[in-house]
Amino acid sequence: MGLLRGALVLLRRWLPRKVGVPTQGVLPDHESGVRRMVSDSRGEAYRAFRTLAEAQGVSDGVVVMEGDYGGQIYLTCPARLVNCDQATLERLLRDLDRLGWKNPETSHVFFERGNPGSGVWGGMGGGLIVEGVWLHPELQKLGIEERVRDVIGGGLSGLT
């Protein structure tokens, strides 16, 4: 079975057949569909946390913000560098999504495990885990990187 076909089979297993109807094998809310699917297709572990606090409790916890159900990775950051609360991270995600896909229903903050130098699966080139804040190049062009770092560092409550 080819990689693409295998990935589609796995994706079908995780997607509910009808919206709003719980089914066995539905992807948990705290897991990225893209990264879960890729990990499963490769036989690798996908490790996600439900909260920022859980991710901050391990040395390799990271924050990943994505839009378009993983069609674009907006931001990554080691969880240990986050000095704002989870609600502020959600607000930052909404601000970034207004600049990106403009579809808040498809954007999410995930708390996962990953090490600096590792890639993050997603569309538009995916993302990268670095020692600091990584912001997608399309968002960097907007000149918001310093304000994004200030939000994560606890100095601002949002970009707007």
Question: Residue 12 has what pLDDT?
Answer: 55
Question: Residue 13 has what pLDDT?
Answer: 55
Q: Is residue 32 part of a domain?
A: no
Q: Is residue 96 part of a domain?
A: yes
Total domain count, the chain: 1
Q: Is residue 61 part of a domain?
A: yes
Q: Is residue 31 part of a domain?
A: no
Q: Is residue 157 part of a domain?
A: no
Q: What is the 3-state secondary structure (H, E, C) of the chain?
A: CCHHHHHHHHHHHHCCCCCCCCCCCCCCCCCCHHHHHHHHHHCCCCCEECCHHHHHCCCCEEEEEEEHHHCEEEEEEEHHHCCCCHHHHHHHHHHHHHHCCCCHHHCEEEEEECCCCCEECCCCCCEECCCCCEECHHHHCCCCHHHHHHHHCCCCCCCC
Q: Is residue 13 part of a domain?
A: no
Q: Is residue 160 part of a domain?
A: no
| Mean pLDDT, all residues of the chain | 88
Question: Residue 10 has what pLDDT?
Answer: 55
Question: Residue 160 has what pLDDT?
Answer: 82
Question: Residue 6 has what pLDDT?
Answer: 54
Q: Is residue 54 part of a domain?
A: yes
Q: Is the full-model pTM beyond 0.85?
A: no
Question: Residue 129 has what pLDDT?
Answer: 98
For residue 66, the enclosing domain spans 47-152
The parts of the chain modelled with pLDDT lower than 50 are: 1, 16-23
